[in-house]
Structures are given as C-alpha cells and as structure tokens.
Amino acid sequence: MSTEVSASAMTAPDDIHFRPVTLREGMVARPVVAPVLAGPLTTSAPVIPVRASPIGDERPGDGRLLLEVARRQAEMDRRERALEAREAQLQAAEAMTRGQISELTRLREEIERLVSKESVSADSDLDALVSLYVNMRPQQAAKVLERLEAPRAAVILLKIPERMAGPILAQMEPPAALAVTQEIAGRREAFRNPVP
C-alpha cells in the first residue's frame, strides 16, 4: 500500500515534471515547486527589481564600512607613495655618499703621494745638510748647531756618524749640548717605553 504525499496548495506548473521519490517502504513523495520559487508564469505577475550590487542602501552600516575601507585604502596609498619617495631620497643620498667617498679616497691617495714625495725630498735635504756638517771642522759645526733649536740639532746629530758627532757635541756650549743630549735621550726613551 503506497501513500503519496503532496501539498494540495502547491502544484507544479504543467511543463515541470518530477519523478516521485520513495522515502521508505510504502511511502512515496512527489516533489512539487512552490509557485513563488517557480517564478512568474504570466506577464501579469509583479516584477521584482534586481540590484546590481549585493550591498544595498537599506543597510546603514554598509555605507560606513565602505567609507572606512576607502579611507584606509587612501591612507595605504599615501603611505606607499611616502615610502617610495623616501626610498628615492635614500638612493640619491647613497649615490651622493658613494661619490663623496670616492672623492675622499682620491684625495687621500694624492695626499699620501705628496707626503711621501715631500718626505723623500726632506730626507734628501737632511742628508745633504748632514754631509755639510760632516765635512766641517768640529768647532765650526758646534757653533752652528748651538744656534739651532734642540730638536733640529738632535736630528742632525743623530744622522752624523757617532765618531764625528762626539767631537761636535764636545765643542758645543754646555747648555746647548745638554738640551741636544736631553732631546736625543727623550726620543730614544719614547721608542723604548711607548705610550699606552
């Protein structure tokens, strides 16, 4: 014995046919579509307007949400432009710094070259001066060295061979000889006991 279940108020349109579904033994259901879901069958049925956007104006919170999203997007765009400008500034500063470093390196090399050249020149001048003092008699060399400042006289005496420097120092006035001797001792002491 089979019982058919159908809604008498809901009938399917004539052109839509569904197969009956057996629910359990003895019970069969015949599906039907409600007239509301089946759609308008005639042109006299009311037309329901379809909105282009699923977010409607009837929800007051949605408008605020859209405004907040737009505001945040604008803020993110502004920050992105600021970061891009900052990055461009950093790249320009980096390029300028590289240029300055290369210029400073070039200047340092030029200064080192000039100092080296001047040092060689000064050494050759000192060697020529020492050879003059070596060729002088000890009394004459002593009289000239007495008049020089103690550091300069010490440099010259240190370059003169010891067997010739001794007689020159002996011919110098005692205060001048003492100042030159202290200068020489101070220089040698500085090398023995370096300042920490």
Of residues 29 and 150, which shows the higher confidence score? 150
Q: What's the angle, vertex CA 118, arms to CA 185 and CA 114, rounded to 5?
A: 130
Q: Does one domain contain both 68 and 104?
A: yes
State whether 73 and 110 are in the same domain.
Answer: yes
Half-sphere exposure of 90 (CA within 13 A, CB side): 6
Residue 154 belongs to what domain range? 136-189
pLDDT of amino acid 82: 95
Distance CA 166, CA 148 (A): 17
Q: Same structural domain for residues 140 and 114? A: no
In a domain, 10, yes or no: no
Query: 9 vs 105, which has greater pLDDT?
Result: 105
User: In the sheet where 27-29 sits, what is the strand order?
Assistant: 3-5, 27-29, 21-24
Q: What is the pLDDT of residue 72?
A: 94
CA distance 157 to 170: 12
Number of domains the chain is built from = 2
pLDDT in tens, 136-175: 898 988 898 888 898 998 888 888 888 888 898 888 999 9
Q: Would the pLDDT of 8 be above 50? A: no
**pLDDT digit string (tens) for 86-135?**
999 999 999 999 999 999 999 999 999 999 888 888 888 888 888 888 88
In a domain, residue 52? The reply is no
- Residue 39 in any domain: the answer is no
Give domain status of residue 91, yes or no. yes
Residue pair 128/156 in contact by the 8 Å Cβ criterion: no
Residue 160 DSSP symbol: S
pTM score, two decimals? 0.42
Same domain, 151 and 184: yes
Within a domain: residue 1? no
Residues 6+ apart with CB under 8 A from 63: 57
Same domain, 147 and 114: no
Q: Does residue 13 belong to any structural domain of this protein?
A: no
Tell me: do 185 and 144 sit in the same domain. yes
Q: Is-contact 2 28, C-beta < 8 A?
A: yes
Interhelix angle 138-147/174-192, nearest 10 degrees: 80
Read off the pLDDT of residues 17-28 as tens digits, 9 standing for 90 and up.
567 767 667 777
Residue 41 lies in a domain: no
Taken in order 59, 65, 71, 74, the sign of the CA dihedral is negative
Q: Which amino acid appears at position 25 of this protein?
A: E
pLDDT at residue number 75? 94
Each residue's pLDDT tens digit, 38-48: 555 555 555 55
Measured distance CA(8)–CA(6) in Å, rounded:
6
Q: Is residue 106 part of a domain?
A: yes
